[in-house]
Amino acid sequence: MKKRLLGKSGLEVSALGLGCMGMSFSYGPAHDKKEMISLIRTAVEWGVTFFDTAEVYGPYINEELVGEALAPLRDRVVIATKFGFKIDPSGQRQWIGLDSRPEHIRAVAEASLKRLRTDTIDLFYQHRVDPAVPIEDVAGTVKDLIKEGKVKHFGLSEAGVDAISRAHVVQPVTALQSEYSLWWRDVETAILPKLEELGIGFVPFSPLGRGFLTGKIDDKTTFDKSDFRNTVPRFTPENRQANQVVVDLLTSIGQRKNATPAQIALAWLLAQKPWIVPIPGTTKLERLDENLGAVSLELSPAELAEIESAINKITIQGSRYPDSVSKLVNR
């Protein structure tokens, strides 16, 4: 497995990480725990060293899963988790708002350390910027946790340029995690240039468009009633049909390269910057194997230009989040 450095931080991880959220949360019912532990450990054997989770995934059960799976392999992996949501104590919903008050960050860190069965969190992201708490206070709190040895690196998720810049002054930001793929490229305008300027790594989540870019979803696909995609405008049957043109593009190039649409989508991301580390999620070994195959797939300058030219002529239909969630990004 090839390795990459997340910006100038010195944090080295596998060129592809593994997003663990879908094992417990968001894409239907939680999967069998023993099977997911086996999959995570197989990922380590296949060279993956970077695993992503969060307290809100479940809530809590995804961190517990990742912690149990990786405890025997702890010295071989980098674990990232997140703080910043106020968890619903009634259990009716996963979260009921944002909370990045310093005392809450500290409480989340202590609880996450226990669930992850570790003495230190390798990368601790603010899950979403909290407008009620100055970003300097957030960065300062994580800086203190780093001094105490409870956290190694500070990250932000879905933050805007202003928040990134201000936080970075207080405590260097190792990585930004935000959505990025061939059907969501907004970060290219201002975010990626700022990250390059400051030497911050970038971790794209949903690099396969929540499964759509794999070519395994079409307008006739139905999702479990608990699947988050039922609420996403981009996943209405009409929009899936309209957006099929992106998958057709990936399929066409993949046929020439003896690769799948997912592999082309991931290879394209990896080709954008050497400090980009996508974290595709999966619950299936065959998909993990497929995704990891993208690391050794080289797209030529001509092929990258072909993709760029074609994608620029496509207008993606449907927003990526329902309105209630959209307001929480890029503050």
Structure tokens at 2: 């090839």
pLDDT of residue 23: 98
Indicate whether 269 belongs to any domain.
Answer: yes
Indicate whether 208 belongs to any domain.
Answer: yes
The pLDDT confidence band at residue 122, using thresholds 50, 70 and 90, is very high
Indicate whether 184 belongs to any domain.
Answer: yes
Indicate whether 188 belongs to any domain.
Answer: yes
Place of tokens 């450990």: 41
Range of the domain at 215: 3-326
Q: Per the structure, how many domains does the chain have?
A: 1
Indicate whether 263 belongs to any domain.
Answer: yes
Per-residue model confidence as pLDDT tens digits over 176-194: 999 999 999 999 999 999 9
Give the domain CATH number at 38: 3.20.20.100
In the set 27, 57, 125, 180, the catalytic residue is 57
Q: Taking 60 as the threshold, does the pLDDT of residue 50 lie above it?
A: yes
Share of the chain above pLDDT 70, in %: 98
Indicate whether 331 belongs to any domain.
Answer: no
Does 57 qualify as catalytic in the annotation?
yes
CB 282 within 8 A of CB 291: yes
Structure tokens at 175: 């990585």
Indicate whether 112 belongs to any domain.
Answer: yes
